[in-house]
Chain A
Amino acid sequence: METNYLELTIGAVLVYNFVLSRFLGICPFLGVSKRLDTALGMGGAVVFVMTIASCATALIYRYVTTSVKIFGYAADLGFLQITLFILVIAALVQIVEVILQKFSPPLYKALGIYLPLITTNCAVMGAATINAGIDRGVWPATLFGMFSGVGFALALLIFSGLRERLELSQIPRPFQGMAIALITAGILSMAFLGFSGIC
């Protein structure tokens, strides 16, 4: 399959932005966007996990679930797809966590529960299943994973900037906290809708 890489990247970052167009990965998007620096850290972690996870799951999809042959016995393991993906993603997240704890304890602390939650983050899983769904090659899938991660990081970055500003605003009490965050996210997603149709 021939892939237009420009379309793939712009599509992944802007047009089909995971958070603001596909509405996947909302949990960490709302959870770790209170401060810009933690948002950056989380964005980096997600880019990393998504890239590696997309690569690994594409490999598994291509060489294990669709065409495994052991001792001459072939089997269609399509039903195992989700289980295997989760297994791989969970392991990856675990490794990221260990590394972060070692090299950036403050970030590790700031990300808190959201870091292990990347495991069950639908954005990562979504990237893997989208890739599998349209049978992308391993290389485009990795690229797609990476730029989807970049799109996620971009949304997180913009959103954390907005939230840092909102924190200084006199928001009416009923709208404080998550309410205003969701309203802002909604308006942001409207702005991203303008990119629809580019590719």
Chain B
Amino acid sequence: MNTILIAALVCGVIALVSGLVIGVASKLFAVPSDPRVDLVIGLLPGANCGGCGKAGCADFAKSVVAGENPPNKCPVSSAEQISAIAHALGIEAGSSFKQVAVVLCGGDLNQARQHTLYNGVYDCVSAAMVAGGPKSCSYGCFGMGSCARSCPFGAIEIINNLAVVHPEVCVGCGTCVATCPRHLIKLVPAEAKVHIFCSSPLKGPEKKKVCSVPCLGCRKCVKAGAEGQFTVEGVKVSVNYDTGENGLPGEDVVAAAGCPTGCLMTVAKHLETEYAELAEAKKETENGRK
């Protein structure tokens, strides 16, 4: 009986002393913190991609709480997540529309000519600094995967030496846009399904020399599409993503235009062809081995 009493007493006294010391310490060294910041951090996706322009999610949360940024500045969060943050802070969510990245080049290993033998670091940025890299087209994708490595979400795949964005995975943070040394990646509205997979401003015949799927500047698509769906700068034709009254071009335009090289196509079709090309290339190398 005594033992139990004494044990309880000893424990109690030590606990009391410790508790007092901790209490005094926490008063003495108190750090003022805003609980709302932690709340917002909890609601953010936590990918730390930097798509918002801040150094990571914690930084962004601070700026949201401070009112410097609206919650919808986070390109990764879904609409529900953003409204949850806004609700938690009692502020306006701001309106946002989802964007995805797209690589505007369609020249893979089979289609675009490799002019010279490149020997060095396997990385687009490095290759671009050595005599403009191995591809003959000075405006084409290197396919060395700098963008794929920079993507925090793994949305970019290199298929047969060509970078292709999977739009369903892409959240539109824009990291890859800044990475590409050829500036081939664009953020476009998620609804945009049809693109011209060529960014070269050169004249048609010159492009034809180095690539089998260039935009020749024939403007068939411009004629087939509605007013304002395409923009023309010199030879270069591109889809007008600043949607006007006629909206973005759809699959019907692709069918109607009958693009002679096939560089105007839907994202799904693009992926499909690239996979087919890859399979073919593999088969060829296997045959070559035999």
Contact = CB atoms under 8 A, between A and B. Distances in A.
A and B touch in the complex (CB under 8 A): yes
Contacts of A70: 6, 9
Contacts of B26: 98
A84 B11 contact: yes
A85 B2 CA distance: 22
Nearest to A108: B31
Contacts of B6: 68, 70, 73, 75, 77
A75 B3 contact: yes
Contact of B2 (A60, A73, A94, A99): A73
A87 B9 contact: no
A87 B21 contact: no
Q: Is the interface of B mostly helix, strand, loop or mixed?
A: helix
Given A75-B3, A95-B22, A98-B26, A68 B10 contact: yes
Contacts of B19: 91
Residues of B in contact with A, size category: 10 to 19
A87 B14 contact: yes
A88 B10 CA distance: 12
B22 A84 contact: no
Interface string B24-35: 011001110000
Interface in A83-111: 83-84, 87-88, 90-91, 94-95, 98-99, 101-103, 105
Contact of A87 (B2, B7, B15, B30): B15
A91 B11 contact: no
A105 B33 CA distance: 11
B18 interface: yes
B76 to A, nearest CB: 22
B186 to A, nearest CB: 33
A8 interface: no
A166 interface: no
A127 B16 CA distance: 24
Interface string A56-85: 000010001000101001011100100110
A88 B13 CA distance: 12
B29 A101 contact: yes
A87 B18 contact: yes
B2 to A, nearest CB: 5
A147 to B, nearest CB: 25
B225 to A, nearest CB: 47
Contacts of B11: 80, 83-84, 87
Interface of A: 60, 64, 68, 70, 73, 75-77, 80, 83-84, 87-88, 90-91, 94-95, 98-99, 101-103, 105
23 contacts: A68-B6, A68-B10, A70-B9, A73-B2, A73-B6, A75-B3, A76-B3, A77-B6, A77-B10, A80-B10, A84-B10, A84-B11, A84-B14, A87-B11, A87-B18, A90-B18, A91-B19, A95-B21, A99-B25, A99-B29, A102-B29, A103-B29, A105-B31
